[in-house]
Amino acid sequence: MNIGIVNYSIGNVGSVYSALEFYHYNVRLVDEPQVIKNSDLIVLAGVGNFSTATSRLKNLKLWETIDYYVREKKKPLLGICLGMQLFADSSSEGGNNPGFGWIKGRVKKLEGKDIQVPHMGWSKVEPAGTKLFHGLRYGFFYYMHSYHFVPDDPKVILAKTPYGMADLVACVKKENIIGVQFHPEKSQGDGLRFLKNAIEELL
């Protein structure tokens, strides 16, 4: 099995690579379209600005390739943090920036008098009837973000995280894609277990 981590110079690619190597998966960095085709599963990670991410993917000629294989060929994909936000129709970060549109919804800035922005640190994830979070010891995951994904269809939401007076979407799934707002690669043992569960679920 070949896992391709999209390498577009946005944040946490190295730590994701190391976390997946823990399970001895055949992992490689992807920076050209042909490698997307030859990967059994794609990992789209990232920390940073939504519009910068879309621009870099397009400059590397990866945007259309990823969209084609995920949308048309149903290739499995795991999105992490900014990678999950790219699933959306659009983001309000820095204007109105279009995403892949794989899951209907919008990425919005975190707001509220009782919260800190950015949301950084460990928070409890509360799953709703999904095997993705089985076998965890504590259920706390590491977050680092100022924007969050709000899907139109609540059925795609598999887990939430209480934050202030509201809940943040922690995990989504639709057909061949799974996305998480937290960073499993920075979440120690539970994060590693989640990555294994997610890959087994997708494949």
Domain spans in the chain, listed from the N-terminal domain onward = 2-202
Mean pLDDT computed over 90-98: 92
Summary mean pLDDT of the chain: 95
Question: Which CATH class, in words, describes the domain spanning 2-202?
Answer: alpha beta
- Does residue 63 have a pLDDT over 80? yes
Q: How many residues does the chain have?
A: 203
Mean pLDDT computed over 150-169: 96
Percent of the chain with pLDDT strictly greater than 90: 88
How far, in whole angstroms, is CA 17 from its chain's centroid? 14
From the list 81, 93, 119, 148, the catalytic residue is 81
Helices (runs of H) and strands (runs of E) counted in the chain = 6, 14
Which residues lie below 8 Å from residue 166, measured CB to CB, with a gap of 6+? Answer: 112
DSSP conformational letter for 194: H
* 90 burial via Cβ count (<10 Å: 0-12, 13-18, 19+): middle
Which of 7-11, 48-52, 58-62, 111-115 shows the lowest mean pLDDT across its residues? 7-11
Round to whole Å and give the CA distance between 198 and 132: 6
From the list 171, 185, 200, 201, the catalytic residue is 185
Give catalytic status of residue 93 as yes or no.
Answer: no
Residue 82's pLDDT is 96
Residue 26's pLDDT is 94
pTM score: 0.96
From the list 64, 183, 200, 201, the catalytic residue is 183
Give catalytic status of residue 183 as yes or no.
Answer: yes
Residue 176's pLDDT is 98
Residue 121's pLDDT is 97
Residue 166's pLDDT is 87
Give catalytic status of residue 81 as yes or no.
Answer: yes
Round to whole Å and give the CA distance between 142 and 150: 19
